[in-house]
Amino acid sequence: MNFSDYIYIRPDYNKIKINFLNFIQKINESKNLSEQLEIIKDINKIRNSIDTMSNLSHIRHTIDTEDSFYNEEKAYWDDIAPLFHELDTLFYKALISHPNKNQIKDVLGNQFFKLIENSLKSFSSDIIEDLQEENKEVSKYVKLLASAKILFEGEERNLSGMTPFILSQNRDIRKNAQEAKYSFFKKNESNFDEIFNNLVIIRDRIAKKLGFNNFIELGYIRMNRIDYSSDMVANFRKQVIEEIVPVATSLYKKQARRLNLDSLSYYDEKFEFNTGNAIPKGDTNWIIEQGKQMYHEMSPETSEFIDYMIEHNLMDLTTKKGKAGGGYCTFIADYKSPFIFSNFNGTSGDIDVLTHEAGHAFQVYRSKWIETPELLWATYESSEIHSMSMEFFTWDWMKNFFKEDTEKYFYTHLGGAIKFIPYGSLVDEFQHEIYKNPTLTPNERKTIWRDLEKLYKPHSDYSENLFLENGGWWIQQAHIFEVPFYYIDYALAQVCALQFWKHMKVNRQEAWTDYINLCNIGGTKSFLDLLKHANLVSPFENNCIKNILKPVREYLENINDKSL
C-alpha cells in the first residue's frame, strides 16, 4: 500500500471508551500474568489504532493546511486528544496499582513504568479543558506560520520558499529577503504575542492545578527527563558558554574574513562563502535517487529501510502553497510505517533533512518490533542522537550530492554543529526564564531573549533590523510554542553525535555497530542508559565537551576555508 491508500476514519470515542474500560476491568480482575499480558496487547491495539488515525490526520493537515476536511479533523483532535489521554491514564493506574505490578514490570521493563509514572504526574481529568485550549493555541500558531505569503522577486512565497534568497551570493538580495521575511513576523507580531501569552498562562495554570510550583517542573516531566535534572542542564549550559561559545565566535569571525566583511550582519550569518554555499546539484527526484543509492551502499539495514520508504511513498518533501513549515518524522503504528515530512528548497538543508529525518525514521523502522507504544521511540534527547549521527554517517556519500562543493559542505556542516550548540542552549535558558516568570509582558520576554543572545551569540548584529534588535527572533522557533522545553535535546544530542563522528574517523565499522545497537532498542532505556549501551560519554560529564572540541577544531583548522 502507498501512503495515499492508508485509510483514515475518525475514531468513535464513546465506543472506544466502553471497550477500553472493559479491558481495564479485566486487568484488575485477572490474577494470571500471561492473561494480563494478553489483555495489555489488546489495549495496545486500540491505542495504536487511535495513534494511527491521529497521525494520518496530522500528516495530511500539515501537507495542506488549506484542506477543509483535515482542518476539521485537526479541530476534532485538538478537542479529543486529552480524552484519549485520560483513557491512557486509567490504563496506567491499573498497572501501577496491580498486585502483579512487579511481574508485569519484569516483562515490560523498568523504563516503561518510569514513563507511565511521569504520565500520571502530568495528567488529571481536571486539566482536560486546559489541554484542549493549549492544543488550539498551538494549532493557531502552526496555521499562522503556514499563512505567510511573501511577495518577493515577482512571486508569492511561503517562509521555506524564502530560504534560497536568504542564502544568495548577492548581499543586497540576502538583506532584502530577510527584511521581507521579518516584515511578515513584524506585521503579525501582536498575533504571535497573543498566542504565546495564552500558552504561557495555560501551561502555568495546568502546572499549578497538578500541584507543581511552576511549569518548569511539569515541563521536565512531560519531556520524560528521567535521569537528569534542571541543575544538570544548567551546568551543561555553563560549559557551553565557557567552552563552545568562544569557538563558535571564532568561526563567525573567520566567516566575516572569508566574506571580506568587517563584521557579519544578521543577513550574512547563514551565508558561508563568497562563491556561494554548497547546494545539491539536482532537484527533489534526483536527490531521492542519490539518497537511495547512498543508503543501498551504506549497509543492508539502510538498504532495506530506504526501499520501504520509497516503495510506500512515505515522504512528502517539496515545499508548496498551504504546506506547514519545518520538517518532522512520525510513525503510523497500524502500518508500521515511518513518515518523513519536509520542505525542500534547493539548499543544503534538503540533504540534511534526507539524513536527519531519515535517522529518526531508520531508528523507528529498526525498533518497530517493540509492541509497547511508549517504548517505540526513545525520549527526545536520545532520539536526536539517531538523527544527528546519521548526518555524519552519510558523509562518505556527500560527494554524490554536492560534487565540487563537498568540502564546503563538510566545513559548514561540522562548523554549523558547533555554532548550533550555543543557540540550542539559548532557547533552553529562555524557556526556563519565561516559565519561571509567567506574568512577563511580551516586551519583557523579548528583552530576556536579546540579553541571552548577547551571552550565547555575542557576534549577532541586528542594528539594521529593529524587530530583531528588540528581541523578536525567537517567535519563528516553533518548538518554543509547540513543545515547551524541547530544544536542549538537540544540543545534548549534538555532543553525542560528534562523539560518533570522532569514533567513525578512527573505526567506522565499530562506530556503525554501536549506532545500529542504539537504534535497535528504541526507547527501552533511559537517556543515560542508552548512552552506555552505545558506548557514548554523557554530555553532563565535565570533560565531555572538551574532548570532542579538540578533534573538531583540528579538522576545521586544517581546511583552507578562504579557498572554498
Structure confidence at residue 68 as a pLDDT band (50, 70, 90) = very high
Whether residue 287 is contained in a domain is answered as no
Tell me the CA distances in angstroms from 222 to 115, 142, 318, one per residue in order. 9, 21, 32
Amino acid letter, 243: E
Whether residue 68 is contained in a domain is answered as yes
Contacts of residue 318, defined as CB under 8 A and 6 or more positions apart, other chains included, come to: 284, 343, 344
Whether residue 95 is contained in a domain is answered as yes
> 3-state DSSP call for residue 316?
strand
Q: Which domain holds residue 76?
A: 3-108
Are 59 and 338 in contact by the 8 Å Cβ rule? The answer is: no
341: nearest Cα among 59, 3, 71, 65:
59
DSSP secondary structure letter of residue 378: P
Residue 325 pLDDT exceeds 90: no
Torsions phi, psi for 427 (to 5 deg): -55, -40
Whether residue 94 is contained in a domain is answered as yes
> What pLDDT is recorded for position 104?
95
Amino acid letter, 344: F
Residue 337 zone, left/alpha/beta (φ > 0; ψ -120 to 50; rest): beta
Mean pLDDT confidence for 195-212 = 98
Amino acid letter, 393: F
Whether residue 84 is contained in a domain is answered as yes
Mean pLDDT confidence for 397-420 = 96
Contacts of residue 302, defined as CB under 8 A and 6 or more positions apart, other chains included, come to: 295, 296, 362
Give the count of domains, the chain: 1
Are 384 and 416 in contact by the 8 Å Cβ rule? The answer is: no
Are 73 and 10 in contact by the 8 Å Cβ rule? The answer is: yes
197 CB neighbour count, 10 Å cutoff: 17
> What pLDDT is recorded for position 234?
96
Mean pLDDT confidence for 161-175 = 94
417: nearest Cα among 473, 509, 498:
498
Express each pLDDT in 26-56 by its tens digit: 999 998 999 999 999 999 999 999 999 999 9
Bridge partners of residue 332, in order along the sequence = 337
Scored b (16 or more CB within 10 A) or e, 75-94 reads ebbbebbbbbbbbbbebbeb
Whether residue 11 is contained in a domain is answered as yes
> What pLDDT is recorded for position 321?
84
Whether residue 90 is contained in a domain is answered as yes
Residue 506 pLDDT exceeds 90: yes
Residue 483 pLDDT exceeds 90: yes
Contacts of residue 399, defined as CB under 8 A and 6 or more positions apart, other chains included, come to: 406
Handedness of CA 245, 246, 248, 253 (dihedral sign): positive
Report the C-alpha gap between 506 and 500 in whole angstroms. 10
Residue 217 pLDDT exceeds 90: yes
DSSP secondary structure letter of residue 135: H
Stated pTM of the model = 0.92
Mean pLDDT computed over every residue of the chain? 96
Whether residue 189 is contained in a domain is answered as no
